[in-house]
């Protein structure tokens, strides 16, 4: 039987929390004890090591800097392990998975993220089965970045959190492309400190907020109606003009869970085409945010940033929209 080695990166999150007077808080040892028990019960020989982010975090506090810390640990030990597990809070797990898909190039090993809706310290926790499934997945999955949750292995660049309480909290759009940037060399690309905003159009909503974002930020993800329509509003047009004048990228994605955008299909979205926004097609908001943030730090010109965002790199677009 083939020996396997796994690196487990524990970032915090609900899975390793305990109850306190202020609510659930991370505690060292909770997740580690469960991992030891799970691997000891398996029939094959598995060696493993656990490294922790210090301090452990609630994923609501996660930032791109933490994505760099995780990818840095993976790269530091990449040659020593056959696979990698990342235990992570569920609130921003989809963001982290998308970020790792895009920032780690040339992966030929699996990276599997998991967590729990209820801490391991609580009766009935989903953390134990999720960890068991994740250990199995990291031993058998194809190379790339995955989320293992509630019995399903999900594409890391196509996943979003869809429920705040159910154990089956994640969903992923289908993709025929694996969740990894294919390359002959394993490379790590890091996120910088650029200011990126995500803003949403709603009926009668404040266009001044959108204008402020496009006047101040380094890049903006704009969530639109349907296949890419927006209100016909002079302040929105002024905001888009400001973004174009400042030469910052604006990526448009749909508020709908499926289907994506197709800019130019409706007159109500013509203003977006006129000001040269980037069609995010059916990327999730999480993937669009991560890709835009990475583009801002790894591509120096607006043209190369645009090309990077439009090019499918890790299955973040549906196949039929990726051309």
Interatomic CA distance for residues 82 and 239, integer angstroms: 48
Question: Does 14 participate in catalysis according to the annotation?
Answer: yes
Tokens of 191: 């996120």
Look-up: residue for tokens 């994923």? Answer: 59
Interatomic CA distance for residues 46 and 29, integer angstroms: 20
Torsion angles phi and psi, residue 279, rounded to 5: -75, 115
The SS3 call for residue 250 is strand
Interatomic CA distance for residues 107 and 144, integer angstroms: 6
| Nearest of 228, 226, 231, 266 to residue 250 by alpha carbon | 228
Look-up: residue for tokens 């999955």? Answer: 141
Neighbours of 213 (CB within 10 A): 23
CB 5 within 8 A of CB 81: yes
Residues forming a β-bridge with 69: none
Which position among 14, 87, 90, 134 bears the catalytic label? 14
Contacts 24+ apart (CB under 8 A), 149-157: 149/90, 149/114, 149/115, 150/126, 153/112, 155/179, 155/315, 156/97, 156/98, 156/100, 156/101, 156/111, 156/113, 156/314, 157/97, 157/98, 157/101, 157/102, 157/284, 157/287, 157/314, 157/315, 157/316
The SS3 call for residue 172 is strand
DSSP string for 127-139: HHHHHHHHHHHHH
Q: Give the catalytic positions in this structure.
A: 14
């Amino acid at each position: 039987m083939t020996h396997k080695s796994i690196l487990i990166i524990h970032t915090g999150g609900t899975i390793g929390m305990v109850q306190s007077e202020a609510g659930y808080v991370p505690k060292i040892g909770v997740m580690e004890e469960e991992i030891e028990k799970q691997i000891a019960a398996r029939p094959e020989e598995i060696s493993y090591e656990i490294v922790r982010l210090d301090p452990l975090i609630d994923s609501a506090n996660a930032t791109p800097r933490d994505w760099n810390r995780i990818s840095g640990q993976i790269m530091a030990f990449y040659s020593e392990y056959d696979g990698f597990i990342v235990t992570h809070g569920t609130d921003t797990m989809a963001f982290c998975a998308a970020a790792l898909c895009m920032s780690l190039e040339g992966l030929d090993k699996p990276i599997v993220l998991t967590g729990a809706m209820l801490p391991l310290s609580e009766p009935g926790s989903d953390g134990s089965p999720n960890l068991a499934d994740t250990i199995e997945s990291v031993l058998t999955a194809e190379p790339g970045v995955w989320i293992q949750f509630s019995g399903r292995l999900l594409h890391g660049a196509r996943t979003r959190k869809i429920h705040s309480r159910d154990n089956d909290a994640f969903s992923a759009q289908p993709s025929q492309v694996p969740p990894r940037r294919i390359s002959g060399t394993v490379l790590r690309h890091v996120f910088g400190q650029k200011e990126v905003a995500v803003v949403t159009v709603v009926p009668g909503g404040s266009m001044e907020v959108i204008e402020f974002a496009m006047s101040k930020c380094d890049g903006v993800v704009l969530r639109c109606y349907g296949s890419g329509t927006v209100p016909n509003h002079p302040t929105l047009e002024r905001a888009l003009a400001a973004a174009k004048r400042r030469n910052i990228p604006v990526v448009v994605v749909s508020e709908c869970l499926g289907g994506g955008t197709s800019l130019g299909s409706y007159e109500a979205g013509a203003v977006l085409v006129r000001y040269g926004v980037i069609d995010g097609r059916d990327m999730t908001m999480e993937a669009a945010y991560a890709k835009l943030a990475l583009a801002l730090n790894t591509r120096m010109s607006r043209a190369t940033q645009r090309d990077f965002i439009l090019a499918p790199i890790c299955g973040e677009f549906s196949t039929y929209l990726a051309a």
